[in-house]
């Protein structure tokens, strides 16, 4: 099989779907690889590193894609890429199907098989393929560093000849993969850390990275290990407890998300107005509507005493290693479907079935088919 590695086209995207070292391992599965010129440049992998790894360079994207059996990308590719793909070929990338209806229909009509990386089931066997987790871990690590840049305070306690500076208070709201890494980073930098989530099992996870858990007395465990939406009564109870912790914080990082919904609102305008002068909120829910009232995706805004940061692509800020982990997620996925250089997906396998969005002229995911057809 021939595998094509695309150059990303989204303006804020520095990642690349496959790095040279992992490409060599794909070649061992019997694949021939080609990369679009300049694809890895922004992620610290110049063209020469690909040619040294046995990957050929192609300048013209259309001919690269037209010859490929498998096309790899990070972001959903442009429509013209899909239209250039061979019928029966495989696309592996993030798709976000419900926000890309035209692209999904084009994949169906082109008879392309699509593996949507965000649809990899969150089960133990698929952990090594779970790109949402690998990217969220890096994004979570980076969020407190970004917050520090917008603060006029340091995180650790510091003793100086003219007296001591107090350690900063960091509150992380939403303790999934990203939130736990954010807490761990803030703790390592010397902050006094608190974590909050609606899933009670996160109490111990917060403790394991050196943080105290904010107990609101509400349990919102939902299906499949994710959170469910809160009732109005529960929301009011939580708000009262959280307001005190929000007012004490020098930095807040929010990561809360409920699958398929807009980001839950965790900080409202009144709570924001009650924060300390010069405090910072890094809202990782920004691409999905924001966890904090007033967040503007892709912008840094001042709201009363607070600097509100709304990053839209944190993994791209760590493109070298985000690409490395993403490439390994893809390698582990392709190992399931490539046998002696032949592409043979087993659609009865849970992981493959769960990840497949389109195949053989149909949208195979029932929920997305219903939404789009």
Q: Which residues carry out catalysis?
A: 122, 127, 130, 133, 226
**Stretch binding ligand NAD (CB under 6 A), from 4-12, 27-35, 74-82, 129-137:** 129-137
Using CB under 6 A as the binding criterion, the count of chain residues that bind ligand NAD stands at 30
Q: How far is the CB of 216 from ligand NAD (least distance, A)?
A: 9
CB closer to ligand NAD, 64 vs 242: 242
Residue 130 interacts with ligand NAD (CB under 6 A): yes or no: yes
Closest approach of Cβ 238 to ligand NAD, in Å?
A: 7
Helix axes 131-149, 319-337, angle to 10 degrees: 170
* Four-CA torsion 249, 254, 258, 262, nearest 10 degrees: 110
x/- mask, ligand NAD, residues 138-177, rule CB under 6 A, reads -----------------------------------xxxxx
Q: Which is nearer to ligand NAD, 166 or 262 (CB)?
A: 262
Q: Can you tell me which of 21, 66, 79, 123 binds ligand NAD, judged by CB under 6 A?
A: 123
CB of 176 to ligand NAD, least distance (A): 2
Least separation in angstroms between residue 140's CB and ligand NAD is 8
Q: By CB under 6 A, tell whether 122 contacts ligand NAD.
A: yes
Please, which residue, 124 or 370, has the CB nearer to ligand NAD? Answer: 124
Show the tokens assigned to 128. 């090594």
294 binds ligand NAD (CB under 6 A): no
CB of 107 to ligand NAD, least distance (A): 25
Q: Of 107 and 256, which has the nearer Cβ to ligand NAD?
A: 256
Residues within window 181-240 making contact with ligand NAD, judged by CB under 6 A: 197-199, 225-227, 230
Minimal distance in Å, beta carbon 40 to ligand NAD?
27
Nearer to ligand NAD, 5 or 177 (CB): 177
Could you say which residues in the range 247-266 bind ligand NAD, by CB under 6 A?
A: 255-259, 264, 266
Among 27, 132, 241, 297, binds ligand NAD (CB under 6 A): 132
C-beta of 102 vs 219, nearer to ligand NAD: 219
The answer to whether 311 touches 286, Cβ cutoff 8 Å, is yes
Residue nearest to ligand NAD (CB): 176
Q: Which is nearer to ligand NAD, 211 or 266 (CB)?
A: 266
Task: Tell me if 122 sits within 8 A of 225, measured CB to CB.
Answer: yes
Q: What is the dihedral of CA 30, 334, 129, 353, to 10 degrees?
A: -160
Angle in degrees, CA 327, 258, 351, rounded to 5 = 40
Binding segment toward ligand NAD, per CB under 6 A, in 132-140, 293-301, 310-318, 356-364? 132-140
Tokens matching residue 214:
């904010």
Q: Which stretch binds ligand NAD (CB under 6 A): 6-14, 126-134, 151-159, 295-303?
A: 126-134
CB 15 within 8 A of CB 319: yes
Nearer to ligand NAD by Cβ, of 61 and 203: the residue is 203
Long-range CB contacts (< 8 A, 24+ apart) of 160-165? none
Binding site for ligand NAD (CB under 6 A): 122-124, 126-127, 130, 132-133, 136, 173-179, 197-199, 225-227, 230, 255-259, 264, 266
């Amino acid at each position: 099989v021939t595998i094509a590695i695309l150059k990303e086209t989204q303006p804020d995207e520095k990642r690349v779907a496959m790095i040279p070292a992992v490409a060599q391992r794909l070649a061992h599965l019997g694949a021939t690889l080609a990369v679009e010129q300049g694809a890895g440049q922004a992620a610290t992998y110049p063209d020469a590193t690909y040619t040294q790894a046995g990957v050929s360079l192609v300048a013209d994207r259309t001919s690269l894609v037209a010859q490929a059996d498998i096309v790899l990308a990070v972001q959903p590719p442009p429509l013209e890429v899909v239209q250039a793909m061979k019928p029966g070929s495989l696309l592996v990338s993030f798709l976000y199907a419900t926000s890309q209806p035209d692209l999904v229909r084009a994949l169906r009509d082109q008879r392309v098989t699509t593996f949507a990386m965000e649809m990899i089931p969150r089960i133990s066997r698929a952990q090594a393929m779970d790109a949402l987790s690998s990217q969220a871990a890096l994004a979570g690590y980076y969020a407190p560093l970004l917050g520090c840049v917008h603060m006029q305070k340091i995180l650790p306690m510091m003793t100086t000849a003219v007296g001591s500076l107090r350690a900063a208070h960091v509150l992380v709201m939403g303790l999934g993969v990203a939130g736990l890494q954010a807490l761990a980073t803030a703790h390592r930098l010397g902050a006094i850390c608190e974590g909050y989530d609606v899933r009670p099992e996160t109490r111990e996870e917060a403790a394991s990275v050196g943080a105290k858990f904010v107990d609101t007395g509400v349990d919102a465990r939902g299906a499949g290990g994710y959170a469910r939406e809160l009732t109005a009564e529960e929301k009011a109870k939580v708000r009262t407890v959280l307001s005190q912790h929000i007012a004490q914080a020098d930095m807040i990082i929010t990561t809360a998300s409920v699958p398929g919904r807009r980001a839950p609102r965790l900080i409202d305008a009144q709570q924001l107005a009650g924060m300390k002068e010069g405090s910072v909120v890094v809202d990782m829910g920004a691409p999905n509507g924001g966890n904090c009232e007033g967040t503007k995706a892709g912008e840094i805004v001042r709201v009363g005493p607070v600097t509100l940061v709304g990053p839209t692509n944190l993994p791209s800020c760590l493109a070298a290693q985000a690409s490395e982990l993403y490439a390994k997620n893809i390698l582990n996925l392709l190992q399931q479907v490539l046998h002696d250089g032949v592409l043979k997906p087993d659609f009865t396998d849970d992981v493959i079935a769960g990840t497949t969005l389109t195949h053989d002229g149909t949208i195979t995911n029932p929920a997305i088919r219903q939404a789009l057809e």
